[in-house]
Amino acid sequence: MTTIGFVRHGVTAWNKEGRAQGNTDVPLDDEGIQMAERVANRIEKEEWDVIYTSPLIRAKRTAEIIAEKQQGIDFLVDKRLGEIGGGIIEGTTEEERVAKWGTAWRDLELGFEPEEAIISRGMSFMEEIKNAHPGKRVLVVSHGGFIGRLINALIPQEEFSRDIGNTSVTIIELQDEKKICHLFNCTKHLE
């Protein structure tokens, strides 16, 4: 049994502006750094064996802040943990998208990463983690769109929101016969 702790990165200026980030490498803002410090303090006393992170700076910096509180933990970057590719909408707000492409912009071919590709890279990562770290506790620092889709693919018999909060913690236990979500989208450290 492997335990996975998913953590979404801290907030960015683009999050606050409602801009689609996707693969655009947007850094944490000051509040995002404070949020990362709060989640790091929250899980400081928990025992984690390894941290994997997206290479995008907002997730990587969040993971680095967490790692500073976890003595001697292995720290690995995996590109499969990157955010969903947003195509040509990256950097735009909902208002700008509607003005440019109309209210049905989601139905257009705008270069979004296909759902199958997102799930494929996520499940490939999870299978590798399960095999590489049996019986271990693995922290995964990534992005809201990616984490939301991956959780729903891992536990399809339950309905989970795809709206994942900044620095939220989700804990999933990977058992041989099933996967159990013990904690979902928890942000109590921000209260």
Give the amino acid at 139.
Answer: L
Q: Does the residue 103 lie in any domain?
A: no
Q: Does the residue 101 lie in any domain?
A: no
What digits encode the pLDDT tens for the residues 22-62? 999 999 999 999 999 999 999 999 999 999 999 999 999 99
Active-site annotation holds for 116: no
Structural domain count, the chain: 1
Residue 119: the pLDDT is 97
Going by pLDDT thresholds of 50, 70 and 90, the confidence category of residue 99 is very high
Range of the domain at 131: 2-86+113-190
Q: Does the residue 95 lie in any domain?
A: no
Residue 176: the pLDDT is 79
Residue 120: the pLDDT is 97
Q: Does the residue 105 lie in any domain?
A: no
What digits encode the pLDDT tens for the residues 160-171? 888 999 999 999
Does the annotation list 9 as a binding residue?
yes
Taking the alpha carbons at both ends of the chain, their separation in whole angstroms is 31
Residue 20: the pLDDT is 96
Does the annotation list 8 as a binding residue?
yes
**Greatest CA separation found in the chain?**
51
Active-site annotation holds for 83: yes
Whether the Cβ atoms of residue 179 and residue 161 lie closer than 8 Å to each other: no
Tokens 């013990």 identify what position? Answer: 182
* d(C-alpha 62, C-alpha 35), whole Å: 9
Q: Does the residue 79 lie in any domain?
A: yes
H helix count then E strand count, the chain: 6, 6
Residue 178: the pLDDT is 87
What digits encode the pLDDT tens for the residues 67-97? 999 988 999 999 999 999 999 999 999 999 9
Tokens in use for 70?
């976890």
Does the annotation list 133 as a binding residue?
no
Task: List the CATH number of the domain containing 147.
Answer: 3.40.50.1240
Q: Is residue 184 within a helix (H) or strand (E), and if so which, with residue range? A: strand 179-186
β-bridge mates for residue 169, sequence order: 7, 186
